[in-house]
Structure 1
Amino acid sequence: MRKSNIILIIFTIVLSSAFAKNTFAGEGLFNNKRFTDHTYVGPFNISNNKAKQAKSKLASDLSELQTNLEVNLIYQDIQFSLTPETIKFDIDMTLANANSGEDNPIIANVSREGLATILNQELSWIQFPEDAVDSVAAGIEKELQSGIMPRNVHITDYLGTNVIPDEVVGSSEYSIDGISPALSKAIHALNQTVIGPFETFSLMELLTGPEVGPLSDEEMTLLSSILYSAILQTNFHIDERNISSVVSPNIQPGFEAAMNQTLGLDFKFTNPNKTVFTIRAAWSSGAISLVIEGKPFYYTYEPAITNIETYEPRIIRQYSAFVHEGQVFVSQEGKHGVEAIVKRTLSVDGQVVETENVSEDFYAPVHRIEIHPLSKSDSVPNNSTTEESDTTQNFGTHTETEIETPGPEGVESDNSGSNEVSDKNGELEEEVIYDKSGLPIGK
């Protein structure tokens, strides 16, 4: 054997011996280490313990934590659990990095292979590359440092922007030949609006801003209804939504979101997700189009009108001596009442998993008011007061009201001038009202 080889062997033996000696010495120093007051690992107190006792106590605490482990992975509108078997707590590394008298993190290791299996099972339509799985695992390990359960981990916090591309999650379109300059500015202001995580959005605040001109309530209602139809295709929470008192001729019942500046009626909604969404709106080719873009949802949301019922209006007849014989004066045209029930299905891969109620919108019918001539045979009932009779003599007229074609049960006339009232048996009684103004009722 050459001399150089002998020297190399001797050097290796000496170096190994020194490393072993230092290792034993290091272990001895660690075992003699003492943690002072206010030393915590996660929520666990290891104060005033030597390393050996601290390790024993921490092992017991972490064993209990492993038993009660609850880690929920959240992606948009779906939540699923991370199995405890994929998580291991490193006691030695935790204590080795712990500083005496401080709050220290728990060091945990998440199995990349186990995490990838769970992600592929629950979100099979998303392709998670290896670096994306590693990033999510590192994020979970960071979340576990506090040791407080349960832990809700939004996996989108730890994914790159390109892992799950944005797409259209809701859309709506309304055909219209032309729009006012103010409505054009409103659409432009709404375009590119960003809805941040957990952000609440008020359409009234946007539409009354300085960059938008004065809008009519009808224009506001039209734009908010278009937006509402798109919002129903997402998991956004509706915080405020109103309907008009009568059916709109332009908006389908069930999908109206009425706005009124005088009454302060707004349309508000909240993004409950940890991701950002963008509203894109435009008017072109005779239509207002609106889409919502963002990370796709787990569920597909499909709103639909499941039932619609119409109510016939009543015909209210009023009589006046100021209407000529053979003529009928219509002081108010009637409108049908409508009840629309909207529900929404949640489906996955075309399979419906849940149906939820969205709204039950009721528009009361508008009664038709007709004023007919007062026939000569009409006379004042015996139960009229002396004052009323004197008035009849002075003006030579009186006005009566009849109701024809009763509406649906439970719908009452809102005509305050009607002189027919229901008695306890539900039968109509007639009460004479005199026209002291000299004008037909309803004018």
Structure 2
Amino acid sequence: WPERQAVARALRTETVGGLILLCAAIVALVWANAPFSSSYTTLRDTHVGIPALGLDMSVGHWTSDGLLTVFFLVAGIELKRELVVGSLRTPATAALPVVAAVCGMAVPAALYAVTAAAGGGSMDGWAVPMATDIAFALAVLAVVSTHLPTALRAFLLTLAVVDDLGAILIIAVFFTSDLNFAALVGAFAGLLVFYVLQRRRVTGWWWYLPLGVLIWALMYNSGVHATVAGVAMGLILRTTRDQGEEQSPGARTGHLLHPLSAGLCVPLFALFAAGVRVSGDALGAVFCSPEPLGVVVGLVAGKILGVFAGTYLAARFTRARLNPDLAWADVLGLSVLAGIGFTVALLIGELAFLNSVTGEHVKAAVLVASLTAALIAVLLLRRRNAVYRRLYEEENRDEDADGIPDIYQRTESSTS
């Protein structure tokens, strides 16, 4: 249907996906603080599933362990594409954004640790400020940018993809409960079958959909966070086309699932993850308690320091070079933008402070820090956008309407 195609095209744009995510977060905040907030917690904590298969989870857990797997599957496909045919395929082009991503994870974690230790708080949330939200960050950039260089978006996308990979590894290594080795072996066996099917060029969703659900269920029961299954399958999917193929399996799957991820899975996760009670005491705890304060410092100050300083030092002392289309002021704006840590930061916060008051304060801190980073980034990037717009207008001004920009004629006349 034309209407369905139009909606799908809209959901594939960062702007629309980010706005839906923002709306879901606002609805969650309003609902959780309304007089009828008990309906929110009742719905979120309602258990549904099949206990005999080890899949008896609350609605909130279904969104974080189930629906969010689709988001990580799409992220895994994007990462695979970047590694094979994108900006991560050669060390020369990948060096700066990769260094920026690594430093942008290490410095926020270090600042959280320092802040929490100084206040006598828990170190459990050290990984919360490490993650950059791809959807929100790209949405803000898309809204602000009319004349910013395309290299800025490529830099941000590469940084966010590497950042997501780091977050996935952290979830797998540090937030894994007691392992069920039988289920884990079964999940790896399913991934091996998935790989063989890809290598044999087997097509047909009826092979992959049941197998994917089985891999996800085994991964969940193994004790490893179930979203890791999505990333693993995304990395296995082939992203290069065979002769005669219009699209690779990875591109086709990502194209089909991106609207589902942006329009349903991620917003529903935000709806049940961002519903924290906001009061004077709660906001005071964000800036007075060591754990949430560490998250704010890590996301706002840590991302700026880590991304910008890492990029500058790598360009200064190694052979890596900043894209000539970018200025250091652009990198500063991007560094602030990287402080928007919503989806994955909320997920790690849930895992680190499960069902605790501190966890609610950490969620509020993620929201406050992400909003602060977004506002500062908008101010900086709007100024840079105005600079590039003036340059564009100057380069394309044609006052005598002869079809040749005046700047070239001035250059020719001065030369003659």
Provide TM-score, normalisation by structure 2.
Answer: 0.18
Higher helix content, 1 or 2: 2
* Structure label with greater radius of gyration: 1
Q: Which has the higher strand share?
A: 1
